[in-house]
Amino acid sequence: MARKSFNSNGKLEQEAVKAKINKETIAEALSLFAYIKPFQTKFFLSLLFIALSALSTMIFPFLLGKMIDAANPGAVLAANSPTIPSTEFGLHLKTVHWSLNTILLLIFLQLSAQTVFSFMRIYLLTEVGEKSLANIRIDLYARLLSMPMNFYSDNRVGDLSNRISSDLSQIQDAISFTLAEFLRGVFTLIIGLSFIFWISTELALVMLSVVPLIAIVAVIFGVRIRNMARKAQDQLAESGTIVQETFLGISIVKAFTSEPHELNRYKKSIFSVVETAISNARFRGAFVSFMIFSVFGAISFVMWYGAGMISTGELSTGDLTMFVIFSAFVGGTFAGFADMFSQLQKTLGATQRVRELLREPTESVELKDLNLIVNQVITGNLVVEDVSFSYPSRKDVPVLQKLSFEVKSGEQVALVGRSGAGKSTIASLLLKFYEPSSGRIIFDEIDSKEFGLTELRKQIAFVPQDVILFGGTILENISYGNPLATKEQIIEAAKKANAHEFINRFPDSYQTVVGERGVKLSGGQRQRIAIARAILKNPSILLLDEATSSLDSESEQLVQDALDNLMKNRTSIVIAHRLSTVRNADKILVLDQGSVKEVGTHEALMQNDKGIYRKLVDMQLEWSTLEK
């Protein structure tokens, strides 16, 4: 089961339901405490300071009560009747008398100690939590980087990002805050109950008959209020989604004169938020009114009962003051445990989701060595032998069937065919994003399975049609092909890609920030940056998903010249969409229904009037004539 929610961008996400608390979920959570082990000394010190902080806090009501008694010593003597000197420590504390000045000094000593204890517990637990979670984040990110491509096909990027951000933040809060508050609450409860029974067992039993009832009702109200507040947030996020969708598609909205429709949609969404908020306000109002009546009523009842005990000499005024304050601490702690229980459920749910990722099988990619030495150098000879393949999510739908072809070192080979023929799948298999269902892929007479993944991929470059640039600078995007390259090597690669000139026209030159996915650059500029990146990698085999199909004539020529520089003297496999761009290929493979149907040069294939290639070329010529 999952609950719908919206992220900060207004996109719909799924939030897992809180996990049930049982042996399995607790074991999952405790497994993450292995990350605390390197900092265990500071962790246990923080627990000690939590206990000391709770103890010092609970001493304050005791000293306050003694201060009140010090102002009225006669009443204290009557209440305690110390006719026989006591040797018991508890009773001795009960009858001890200090001057007002002594008690004030003790209070400031107590506050000073509490200040130190509180600072140390927060500082140490935060340090332990931050460092532990940093290691978990790094391990989880490394795990995600090592996942195979089919994992990303089955999971949404937004969900994965959510696990790194919100799920780990939930765990971090549990270590740094919730755990501390829970332990502090336990200590406060134990010490508080001990004190109130020490002051008066009779009055403690009266108080305990009232406080739990108030705490239970508070928990029930609190859960309902949180659920309604969450519903209002979801509805508000949904209205934000409407705004985002409308503005992203504003041209369509205006073209179809749908302004009234969009306005009505937004009104409906906003008014549903208003209704939920008002309903929640009624509930919160009832809750606050109930709490005011119950808490003050309970205090009044306890005070009334205690006043009767004072009049009979069973209790002093200071003792009653102590009792009321300790009762407030105990009642507040009871109420706080409900929220902690809810936080614990969320943390267990987050832990489960993180542990699921940490258990996922990964690829054997190199994550540490940037300058990995390639032991098996590929010269560029390639053999695809009887390869069949179906995607893991659609195993009943064959994409490639007994596919075979050969490419010699330095050859330029084009893959053409109708949409769905398997062209892009071949590129994925060569990069070992997936393994063939059957058959072999051989590089320089060595089976691809004999290569390490990182070692193989370091020798293959891929230039997609839809170029993906990262949000940094032009220099950083080009250096992605070789992170250890010098600036001179990067500039040389840019020159070969016909990119150096337009880069220098920017005020910041190579330090120009390209924006998210390269949004600040034109299509042709992005393509040339991608080509420079591939040139810098200096691969043995080049995979090109035709990079000029969506460019204007001027950009197309510049990009094509850059591609010619890139393909020079290296094995190149071009996935062709516009057949006019592969006329000069050494070999053209025509794919249909997952296998090679025709092989030859452009001239040879055009001789076959009934061939698939000839039909594809004629069809494209007709379309280009109609467009003109």
Give the pLDDT of residue 26. 66
pLDDT, average across residues 117-125: 88
Give the pLDDT of residue 109. 92
Q: Is the pLDDT of residue 360 over 70?
A: yes
Element (H, E) at 574: strand 571-575
pLDDT, average across residues 102-122: 88
Q: Is the pLDDT of residue 361 over 60?
A: yes
- Of 432, 476, 467, the C-alpha closest to 545 is 467
Distance between CA 264 and CA 278 in Å, rounded?
21
Higher pLDDT, 364 or 128: 128
Q: Is the pLDDT of residue 87 over 70?
A: no
Q: Is the pLDDT of residue 75 over 60?
A: no
Tokens 């018991």 sit on residue: 88
Q: Is the pLDDT of residue 125 over 60?
A: yes
- Of 462, 430, 442, 456, the C-alpha closest to 377 is 456
Asked if 298 and 57 count as a contact pair (C-beta separation under 8 A), the reply is: no
Distance between CA 580 and CA 524 in Å, rounded?
19
Distance between CA 343 and CA 290 in Å, rounded?
25
Q: Taking the model in full, what pTM does it have?
A: 0.67
Element (H, E) at 461: strand 460-463
Element (H, E) at 153: helix 149-154
- What count of other Cβ atoms lies within 10 Å of the Cβ of residue 503? 24
pLDDT, average across residues 101-117: 88
Give the pLDDT of residue 81. 47
Total number of residues shown for the chain: 628
Query: Which DSSP string do the residues of 262-299 spell out, in sequence order?
Result: HHHHHHHHHHHHHHHHHHHHHHHHHHHHHHHHHHHHHH
Sign of CA pseudo-dihedral 136, 141, 142, 146: positive
Q: pLDDT digits over 196-215, tens only?
A: 888 888 888 877 777 667 76
Distance between CA 515 and CA 318 in Å, rounded?
68
Q: Is the pLDDT of residue 180 over 80?
A: no
Tell me which of 13-27, 330-344, 367-381, 462-476 is least confident: 13-27
Q: Is the pLDDT of residue 517 over 80?
A: no
Asked if 333 and 58 count as a contact pair (C-beta separation under 8 A), the reply is: no
Q: pLDDT digits over 280-312, tens only?
A: 788 778 877 877 787 777 778 888 888 888 888
- Of 566, 532, 527, the C-alpha closest to 549 is 527
pLDDT, average across residues 527-538: 85
**Could you give the angle at which helices 179-199 and 317-359 cross, rounded to 10 degrees?**
160
Q: Is the pLDDT of residue 91 over 60?
A: no
Give the pLDDT of residue 366. 62
Give the pLDDT of residue 368. 66
Higher pLDDT, 596 or 313: 596
Residue 350's pLDDT band, with cuts at 50, 70 and 90, is: confident
Dihedral, 130, 131, 137, 142 alpha carbons, nearest 10: 170
pLDDT, average across residues 495-514: 86
Give the pLDDT of residue 242. 80
Give the pLDDT of residue 19. 53
Q: Is the pLDDT of residue 398 over 70?
A: yes
460 exposed, middle or buried (CB, 10 Å; 0-12, 13-18, 19+)? buried
Element (H, E) at 505: helix 500-505
Q: What is the average pLDDT value for the chain, to the nearest integer? A: 77
Give the pLDDT of residue 16. 42
**Residue 590 pairs with which residues in a beta bridge?**
416, 598
535 exposed, middle or buried (CB, 10 Å; 0-12, 13-18, 19+)? buried
Q: pLDDT digits over 239-289, tens only?
A: 777 887 788 778 787 777 778 888 888 888 888 888 888 887 887 788 778
Give the pLDDT of residue 373. 61
Give the pLDDT of residue 182. 80
Give the pLDDT of residue 121. 86
Distance between CA 377 and CA 123 in Å, rounded?
52
Helices (DSSP H) in 7-99: which residue ranges? 23-31, 40-70, 73-80, 89-95
- Of 378, 347, 362, the C-alpha closest to 450 is 378
Give the pLDDT of residue 221. 74
Query: Which DSSP string do the residues of 434-460 spell out, in sequence order?
Result: S--SEEEEEETTEEGGGS-HHHHHTTE
Cβ contacts of 362-367, under 8 Å, gap ≥ 24: 362/143, 362/146, 362/147, 362/148, 363/146, 363/147, 363/148, 363/453, 364/146, 364/452, 364/453, 365/145, 365/146, 365/453, 365/454, 366/452, 366/453, 366/454, 367/142, 367/145, 367/146
